[in-house]
């Protein structure tokens, strides 16, 4: 992957990697390779959504305390 001029957030990085994986899937040599790459893309997208929800979740108290 190309070097970035500025540091991306974790969410941005996940979306960037998902897009790159989709691009690679478009050039896959076999249907199985394409399916694998599209599955990886979905994992990157799920990770991005997860990170977004963590950032948006309200912070309550200190970790480890009840």
**How many folded domains does the chain comprise?**
1
Residue 40 domain-assigned (yes or no) = yes
Q: Is the pLDDT of residue 63 over 60?
A: yes
Q: How confident is the model at residue 6 (pLDDT cuts 50, 70, 90)?
A: low
C-alpha to C-alpha distance for 52 and 13, rounded to whole angstroms = 12
3-class SS string, 8-36: CCHHHHHHHHHHHHHHHHCCCCCHHHHHH
Positive or negative CA dihedral for 35, 37, 40, 42? negative
Query: Is the CB of residue 45 less than 8 Å from the CB of residue 12?
Result: no
C-alpha to C-alpha distance for 63 and 6, rounded to whole angstroms = 31
Residue 63 domain-assigned (yes or no) = no
Residue 52 domain-assigned (yes or no) = yes
Residue 3 domain-assigned (yes or no) = no
Residue 25 domain-assigned (yes or no) = yes
Residue 30 domain-assigned (yes or no) = yes
At 47 the pLDDT is 96
User: 38 is in which domain, residue-wise?
Assistant: 10-56
Residue 65 domain-assigned (yes or no) = no
Q: Is the pLDDT of residue 37 over 80?
A: yes
């Amino acid at each position: 992957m190309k070097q970035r001029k500025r540091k991306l957030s974790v969410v941005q990085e996940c979306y960037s990697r998902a897009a790159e994986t989709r691009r690679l899937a478009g050039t896959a040599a076999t249907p199985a390779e394409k399916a694998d790459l599209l599955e990886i893309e979905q994992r990157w997208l799920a990770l991005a959504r997860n990170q977004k929800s963590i950032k948006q979740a309200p912070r309550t108290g200190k970790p480890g305390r009840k």
